[in-house]
Structure 1
Amino acid sequence: MIKVAVVFHSASGSTRQLAKAVAGGAVSVQGVAVIQAEIIGADISAGRFRNSLLLEQLDSAEAIVFGSPTYMGSVSAQFKAFVDATSERWETQLWANKIAAGFTIGSNFSGDQLHTLQYLQILANQHGMLWAGLDIPGNHSTAGLNRLGAQSGVIAQSADGLLHETDLLTAHYLGQRVAQVSKKFAA
């Protein structure tokens, strides 16, 4: 059984909706189980991420999909605290050769969400992970997936917390893609 983990922080619930769509896509692939790992306020004490159980769950996954809202052009402070806590895994390259992907959401169409995805890619690269972006040219799929045209991962936009259905479908597709790539890589 291939395990795909979806680790994310959500402040208003919109990133959580994307995470559920990613998880739904991954679990729709036969032979794949999903670990949903939400970063919450109780995980952080004095600015440091302290949930070792969540980190251990990620250690056992073949793939990790990272998700964070875009705040001021990057990941949220809560997600950054999680990232900092992964440094011990970085030192030993514990996550090397896992498949990685990412998703984000912002309130503006050009709210620097691409920088958040690039931050997540750099995180994955530091860990020796293999990044799986979207293989859908923006607005060129018959279903209209990837409406905002990001090849690096899912970028969603919502000013009111209501997600565009196409963004959710694109997140579902990303979950499927990560699961399929993980199965091929494991074989």
Structure 2
Amino acid sequence: MATIAVVYHSGYGHTQRQAQAVAQGADAHLIAIDADGNLPEGGWEQLAASDAIVFGSPTYMGGPSWQFKKFADATSKPWFAQAWKDKLFAGFTNSASTVGDKTATLNYFITLALQHGGLWVGNGMMPSNTKAATRDDLNWIGVWSGAASVSPSDASPAEMFEGDLNLARRFGERVAQAAARWKR
């Protein structure tokens, strides 16, 4: 069985709920980046021991939160040692707007993963783009490079769309399946 870590920052709880759904689907360890941009004790060791790392952050102003960027900058130590080379990587994000430049955040994650010599896992799901589609359908906003969700600015984390949480769980399952195949 592959070991998977979900390392994420959440500003208001929506991305945390998304992270929990990804971790549930992947049977992964959650590593929360705190409000100061730091990992909990043992977080770096968990990442080093993982076969796959899933990045998560809200999209703020067209990119990940500064807390996630602080973490990303600190990954220069494992980068220099090529400690994460050949790991699998994936990512997810959330913002209030339907588009909200979420793919810019996912592209940031992809670049970070590739700089580490990793391999990227997208969500592999068809979009729900018919007239009958609703926000409770999988991949209703049509993003393939990761799991993207929408949380209106006046919605609490408890009000997240079920389709987004189901997408996050299914995305976690896909990462786990890819990690199991890659580990063989």
Count of aligned positions: 176
Unaligned runs of 5+ in 2: none
Q: Please provide the CA RMSD for this pair.
A: 1.9
173, 178, 183: which one aligns with 2:175: 178
Give the Cα–Cα distance (whole angstroms) in 2 for the partners of residues 126 and 20 of structure 1: 26
Which 4+ stretches in 1 moved above 2 angstroms? 49-53
The TM-score, its normalising length taken from structure 1, stands at 0.89
CA contact (8 A) 2:32 2:39 kept: no
For residue 38 of structure 1, the aligned residue among 7, 21, 32 is 32
What is the aligned-residue identity percentage? Answer: 42
Over residues 67-97 of structure 1, what are the superposed CA-to-partner deviations in whole Å (9 max), with x where a residue is unaligned? 0000000000101000000001111211111
Cα deviation for residue 134 of structure 1 reads: 1.1
Residue aligning to 1:111: 100
Of stretches 5-14 and 155-164 in structure 1, the one that deviates more from structure 2 is 155-164
1:122 pairs, out of 93, 111, 114, with 111
* Among 137, 140, 143, the residue aligned to 1:144: 137
Hey, what does 1:71 align to over in structure 2?
60
AA partner of residue 40 (structure 1) = D
Do residues 153 (structure 1) and 146 (structure 2) align? yes
Q: Return the TM-score normalized by structure 2.
A: 0.90
Distance 2:82 2:166 in 1: 33
What SS is found at the alignment partner of 1:36? strand
Give the drift of 1:102: 0.3
- 2:166 paired residue number: 169
Amino acid in structure 1 at the alignment position of 2:143: A
Which structure 1 segments of 5+ residues have no match? 28-33
The residue identity in structure 2 corresponding to 1:93 is Q
